[in-house]
Amino acid sequence: MIGKIVTHYKILERLGGGGMGLVYKAQDLTLDRSVALKFLPPVFSMNEDLKLKIIQEAKIAATLEHPNICNIHEVGETEDGQIFIVMAYYEGETLKKVIQNNSLNRDNLESIILQIAKGLQQAHDNEIIHRDIKPANIFLTNKNEIKILDFGVAKVQGDFSAMDAENLKGTIAYMSPEQISGEEVDQRTDIWAFGVLLYELLTGQKPFKSEYEQTALYSIMNDDVSFSDLDLDEHLLYLKKVVSKCLEKNKADRFQSMKEIVELIQQNSIIQTKSKSNRFYNSTSFKLFSTTIFILIGILLIINFRGYLGWSSGENIKKRIAVFPFDYNIDGEDSIDLPILLQSILVKNLITFKEYGVIDPNSLNEFMNKTEDKYVSHHNLSFYSSLGDLNISYFIDGSVTKNENDFTIKTNIIDLKTHEVSFNYENKYSDEKNFLQATEDISSQIINFFQVKIHPLSKEKDLTPWVNAECDNMLALKSFMQASQIIYRQEPGAEKYLRQALEYDSCYISPRIWLISHLVAVGNYEEAKKHMKVLDRLESKANPFEQAMINYTRAYINDDLSKQIQYLSVALEYSPNNNILLYSLARLYYLIGDYQKSADTIRNTISMNWSFSPAYSLGGYAYYRLKNMIQQKKFLNKL
């Protein structure tokens, strides 16, 4: 077969084979890409019913789109009538070979397990059952990505009596009691096989093992699972419960869906997998860290990071601007929302400075609410010192007062070096529409200050950010503000406000970015991609910060970790100390094994007093991976 051209595919090398056919690496001569061709046994060509069935099942399987499911490109037929399936080609090896070679990286164990679970969940959500989950059908790429193979083939295999003895023997160990009994199967059959596979990944042994088929079948039907070979690290003990419940003889006693398993793993795992994990938020993922020793270490980070590590948050970072909520003492329904809204709009308009970064408002507000001197109105040395620790050079505050017929906004820029007001400006507005124009005017005046006063000799440098009204709909702005606060507080319900913001203004970029993150987090890739197409059209109108976030979102959907790191780093230049972005970046560094950068990045969220325990757990676990036992001992002694 090597060198032969089949339709428009040139066979390059043999990859493997079994009872359900031979697999070859091939070159797609039309699209110039590598693919995998699986040639099915000749019996499929001789039996018209089997032939039609395999084509139909492959078509159904081809509808599955998920990062952990092998993509099926097409079903073809050779000149002599042999059926072949064209699949995506990946560099790596099956879990069967990984287990046989004892080459499983235990650090990636939870990642592998969760990726398999998510792939199966996607299939089950589309009412597709695999029926033959086993290590030989799970592929681990060189990028540590899981791809489930043979969707669409396994169902036909169950009706195929010509299966060879070796393949049958390899399948029996993963068969559920209902399969053995000849009962109708459903997704709980895959859940059983997932439990067998999980046991094998944890121990290197099958839970029901025997040299003889009949003995193995009896064991599956009657014997309890022994956990004597299951020697787990403390933070993995919860997986014993997962295995036990997956392998209940009565399918009614098992997990009833893969979703239950995915949520259980996410709630207990130390660090989520990269399979859509660097999301801005996910109501489940905010609970994903278990109460293990690493959480204890993490909790201590907030107390001890500066003292033990000798670190200052202002080291080697460019100057920063902070915008605080303006004082607003007017009674009315907007008395709470308007100061935050004004702050958010000013930050949005100032966030594209090249020489200065603008502190994320949610992170800043929480930091200040946890300092001894809570709000900017105190203006004392202790307050100035706390801002200096964040490397802030200037901060902006002001007040909103009501006159007879209008409102007055007073704006101040304070130089933290001299503690003096370097700039003040007054603006009036009469209603919500004029309020937006007033904020644009204030933004322009602030920009002018930095151009003329701060860089008078650098006129060739245009500091002006793109102060355009990205959104001039007050209702849309309010909805997005509500969503962003819910997200930051780690509470559910933000999706409603994100969608609401887009209903008010479909060209509003920011809520669409956050919505895509949520959709990917819950596995709704189809809608996420539709929103991404809208962002593609809006990208030319985006400011540099938004462009970085659009590129990050695109990489997020495509599960490209290196590009996610690249664009998050760019975004953080414009929005420093943005806790959610920092946490996402730190997690990405952890996932690629750069534990030092992960620890260095997460320290910035610690400096902001963020009350988000997973951040501390991530930092603690990164130092555990770095084998920094001295730091750990100091943390534990403090406890």
Q: Is 123 helix (H, G, I), strand (E, B) or coil?
A: helix
Considering the segment(s) 314-469 as one domain, its CATH architecture is 3-Layer(aba) Sandwich (3.40)
pLDDT tens per residue, range 226-250: 887 777 777 778 898 899 999 999 9
| Residue 85 φ then ψ, to 5° | -110, 130
> Residues spanned by CATH 3.30.200.20 within the chain?
5-88
d(CA 426, CA 326) in angstroms, rounded, equals: 13
CATH number of 92-276: 1.10.510.10
> Residues spanned by CATH 1.10.510.10 within the chain?
92-276
Residues 6+ apart with CB under 8 A from 224: none
Q: Give pLDDT, residue 176.
A: 92
Q: Is 534 helix (H, G, I), strand (E, B) or coil?
A: helix
Cβ neighbourhood burial of 184 (10 Å; 0-12, 13-18, 19+): exposed
Residues 6+ apart with CB under 8 A from 40: 20, 21, 54, 82, 83, 84, 85, 153
pLDDT tens per residue, range 76-133: 888 888 888 999 999 999 999 999 888 888 778 888 999 999 999 999 988 888 888 9
- Cβ count within 10 A of residue 336: 11
Q: Give pLDDT, residue 552.
A: 92
d(CA 113, CA 116) in angstroms, rounded, equals: 5
Q: Which residue has the tokens 């090249």?
A: 354
Q: Where are the beta strands (DSSP E) in 114-188?
A: 138-141, 146-148
Spans of the chain, pLDDT less than 50? 157-170, 271-317, 333-336, 372-378, 456-469, 632-639
Token couple for 616: 């501390």
Q: Where are the beta strands (DSSP E) in 5-99?
A: 5-6, 9-18, 21-28, 33-39, 72-77, 83-88, 92-94
| Residue 274 φ then ψ, to 5° | -75, -5
Q: How far is CA 539 from CA 228, 465, 519, 560, in A?
A: 57, 16, 20, 19
d(CA 87, CA 90) in angstroms, rounded, equals: 9
**Secondary structure of 272-297 in HEC code, one letter for each residue:** CCCCCCCCCCCCCHHHCCCCCHHHHH
CA dihedral 178, 181, 184, 187 (to 10 degrees): 20
d(CA 42, CA 478) in angstroms, rounded, equals: 64
Token couple for 398: 């002001």
What is the fold of 5-88?
Answer: Phosphorylase Kinase; domain 1 (3.30.200)
Distant-in-sequence contacts of 3-12, Cβ < 8 A, 24+ apart: 5/29, 6/37, 6/76, 6/78, 6/84, 7/76, 7/78, 9/35, 9/37, 9/76, 9/86, 11/37
> Residues spanned by CATH 3.40.50.10070 within the chain?
314-469
Q: Which residue has the tokens 């059952």?
A: 129
Q: Give pLDDT, residue 306.
A: 33
